[in-house]
Amino acid sequence: MREREAAKVTATQKNGTIVITLTHSLDPKMYDLPLTLKTYVPDHWKNATITGGPTRRQLDIRHDDKGNYVLYQAKPNTANTILQP
The domain tally of the chain equals 1
What's 23's domain CATH number? 2.60.40
pLDDT of residue 58: 96
**Phi and psi angles of residue 7, each rounded to the nearest 5 degrees, phi first:** -70, 145
Percent above pLDDT 70 for the chain: 100
At residue 1 the predicted structure's pLDDT band, cuts being 50, 70 and 90, is confident
Give the domain extent around 61: 2-84
**pLDDT, tens only, 15-54:** 999 999 999 999 888 888 899 999 999 999 999 999 987 7
pLDDT at 28: 81
74: CB partners within 8 A, 6+ apart: 20, 22, 34, 35, 37, 52, 81
Q: Give pTM, 2 decimals.
A: 0.86
pLDDT, residue 42, reads 96
Strand partners, 73: 36
